[in-house]
Structure 1
């Protein structure tokens, strides 16, 4: 059996893979840099069917004397059928896309799960054909970052779509980075040299959206003094990104469907068909299947858009990425402001990772920008974090007021207003006060119920806790159940069921 070739300058990585593969009866041969690999390949007898070359090459991406991507290109020139797996501790979009575009079998971010890595290598050994992808387009800075498995899936999808112009539907919560994914899909596509045009269909008045999309002829309506090219024409030969497609008016959905079907459209007031060659990428935070069932979105348009669907995870689902993203955004903010980048203490970083981030990556970026401006020292500590992260109001909570209100009310209005520095530094005291009052009150209540022999104490207190929590969330979100569920970190079905169970049907929207 041909061996698995492992290339990594880290001896611990080589050792771990060698032992794991040996336990799986897979022979190995290890190298410390790309030059050794190329020399070993050159030394193999040409044309010998029994030559002991690799059946799989597993290579690190950054090593002294060359990169795994360069090695991948050189190996493919000699043996286009050899499966190559690229390993890297630098889990950014460009690395993933570059690996796939140069013909890698798979992309393995470090640290990896060893059994899964062995299973991947075994699958690569059994694979004969792989899709060929184009040359890498280098970027000055990473477009997107993420080590979480869900983000790695997104990176892989972008890499595999890099030779296609197929329509893509991106789903995910607001602020998760859907436009970044759309731009990445465009940038790593055959139409990358064309324009990227974005339009938020929810942000443009209904009466103007048709003209924005398709343009208009002179005299088409009052004020149309000249002919105007719409976004489809502006995006000719490139990509049109339709953000918040779920909010598109129903009557315009028919026109969009026609463009996607036959590639023609008419300007408003026009009589001549305009031919368009545009790749369409759509995005929404809404459940389009439900919108179809509700009669608010055309089913045929949904199927036209839903050729390839990419689900972008919320930041809550990729908490391991928060430290990396926070450091990245702190550096980015410092560069924009022309100041020295600030560092974040481990305790503050831990508190950030515990935050729910209802605004997702956009909210984290805003917080990092806020910290760059507001934190007084170069090292950001816990007390420097904004009130929304610490889950307390900006102003200190008076003890008397807190005494007369349930703990849920103390936290109900937690937000991120602009605060003065003196009030900002009262935050730790407010946290301690509110937390102590809540804990003390709960302990007193539980003791009283238990001492009185009250049945089902657990269920009784849990119901009261859940009721207060849901009412507080609905109060903060002005009755919007979906947003309340997101802020609480539960699903829409869960909050609906709880509202029914707890007799809170009058709370929030239906």
Structure 2
């Protein structure tokens, strides 16, 4: 995409000449004749470089420069003046101008300064841009393989995605994975928790507001939609949004444009929406708490995230991952986990899902003095057995039952993974086919 050049000069002939010059070079140009107009169009046009005259009617060029740099410190402002002085040039530079050009100027001079700024800006972005790191989705269960396949198919598109699942299942992680595998990966990923923002503030958070739009609006504020322009906006817990706000969100999705609170100007936005909810939105629709039209707008591509209790075979991989992560972050010598302790983890109910598992692993790693984390290190107040009774670290009957539950779930998962083929499942588990048949009979597992 070509760089965008905003020209600000109160002489129409200068605006026309500069517009022709930069357009002939392949840039996108927009010209205005006052500082006020430049500020008004700034967020809509999103310039990379601004050619700004010092002497303007209304607010002068230096004041306009300061306001523009407040709106976006990274924008390149090139000051122009037919009455240039050293003092003016120094002041402009101190206030954030990239360069100062005296009139009359040559076409070569203008284009050289523009190219120099764009080259420097590109190098600066490549040097300071942090590595985009997103935790992987850990697991090898059929549910996780299917989820990963869905992400791979969905990510390259611009289709809106609705992720539904219990708290702690990793909905934001999935949203980030979709963003990072998409064509928008180089642009922002902006997340907002709709349940955590008061009703009277969420409109301002999403769409921004003008100075003086309401009590406490002391300055202009850009909203999440503008911040996410070109990228992805993640609306977490969208089911908690009020019906009034849902109507406003629906209009933005239909028009692909926002209007700041207290403003009249419409600002186009190019944003991919990924929404998430720990509630079933269709249930909310039936209850009259969620707009049906908005539901269908958001759920172009629905993704259901399974709770941890439905993919217990992933717990060893998750536990090992979190164990290594905590050791590295806390500077703790590498730890391992005993088979008995792992069996107990796999038999727990995990109402808090992966988030709860991570917290438990962190607690055990920090609190245990042992290199091998065992049954005695498991916090009994956090782990619940399938029956709902607290696991006892000293009760051998519970430990045996936990092992049996783990083995039964493990076998069932492998059978699903192998399409109920006993021979393949036995090979995958590293046991004899006859032995597997005995286990199937023992646990009452039917193919």
Shared fold, TM over 0.5: yes
CA 156–390 in structure 1, closer or farther in 2 if over 3 Å, else same: closer
Does 2:208 correspond to 1:209?
Answer: no
Structure 1 residues without counterparts, runs of 5 or longer:
1-137, 393-406, 416-426, 436-510
Output the CA distance in 2 between the equivalents of 1:140 and 1:239.
Answer: 16
Displacement of 1:432 in angstroms is 7.4
Q: 2:354 aligns with which of 353, 358, 361?
A: 361
Q: 1:145 aligns with which of 138, 149, 152?
A: 138
CA 391–432 in structure 1, closer or farther in 2 if over 3 Å, else same: farther
Structure 2 residues without counterparts, runs of 5 or longer:
1-130, 399-447
8 Å Cα contact 2:192/2:235 also seen in 1: yes
The structure showing larger relative contact order (alpha-carbon pairs under 8 Å, at least 6 residues apart) is 2
TM-score normalised according to structure 2 size: 0.57
Output the CA distance in 1 between the equivalents of 2:194 and 2:313.
Answer: 33
SS at the partner of 1:387?
coil
Matches for 1:326-475 after TM superposition, within 5 Å: 326-391=319-384, 428=393
TM-score normalised according to structure 1 size: 0.50
Q: Which runs of structure 1 show a deviation greater than 6 angstroms over 4 or more consecutive aligned residues?
A: 138-141
CA 220–159 in structure 1, closer or farther in 2 if over 3 Å, else same: same
Output the CA distance in 2 between the equivalents of 1:160 and 1:277.
Answer: 21
SS at the partner of 2:221?
coil
8 Å Cα contact 2:134/2:176 also seen in 1: no
> 1:164 maps to what in 2?
157
Output the CA distance in 1 between the equivalents of 2:219 and 2:141.
Answer: 50
Of the two, which has the highest radius of gyration?
A: 2
Output the CA distance in 2 between the equivalents of 1:387 and 1:178.
Answer: 27
SS at the partner of 1:197?
strand
Output the CA distance in 2 between the equivalents of 1:322 and 1:148.
Answer: 10
8 Å Cα contact 1:292/1:298 also seen in 2: yes
Output the CA distance in 1 between the equivalents of 2:152 and 2:158.
Answer: 13
Does 2:281 correspond to 1:288?
Answer: yes
SS at the partner of 2:381?
helix
Number of residue pairs the alignment of both structures matches: 268
Displacement of 1:146 in angstroms is 1.3
Output the CA distance in 2 between the equivalents of 1:276 and 1:287.
Answer: 28
8 Å Cα contact 1:238/1:278 also seen in 2: yes
Output the CA distance in 1 between the equivalents of 2:207 and 2:377.
Answer: 49
Output the CA distance in 1 between the equivalents of 2:339 and 2:382.
Answer: 15
Displacement of 1:162 in angstroms is 2.8
RMSD: 2.3
Output the CA distance in 1 between the equivalents of 2:138 and 2:346.
Answer: 16
> 2:166 maps to what in 1?
173
| Residues 117-153 of structure 1, C-alpha deviations (whole Å, 9 max, x = no match) | xxxxxxxxxxxxxxxxxxxxx9878611111111111
> 2:298 maps to what in 1?
305
SS at the partner of 2:163?
strand
SS at the partner of 1:242?
strand
| Residues 167-203 of structure 1, C-alpha deviations (whole Å, 9 max, x = no match) | 0000110000000000000000010000000000001
Displacement of 1:249 in angstroms is 0.9
8 Å Cα contact 1:352/1:389 also seen in 2: no
CA 212–353 in structure 1, closer or farther in 2 if over 3 Å, else same: same
Does 2:236 correspond to 1:232?
Answer: no
> 2:185 maps to what in 1?
192
> 1:322 maps to what in 2?
315
Displacement of 1:287 in angstroms is 1.1
8 Å Cα contact 1:355/1:389 also seen in 2: no
8 Å Cα contact 2:135/2:173 also seen in 1: no
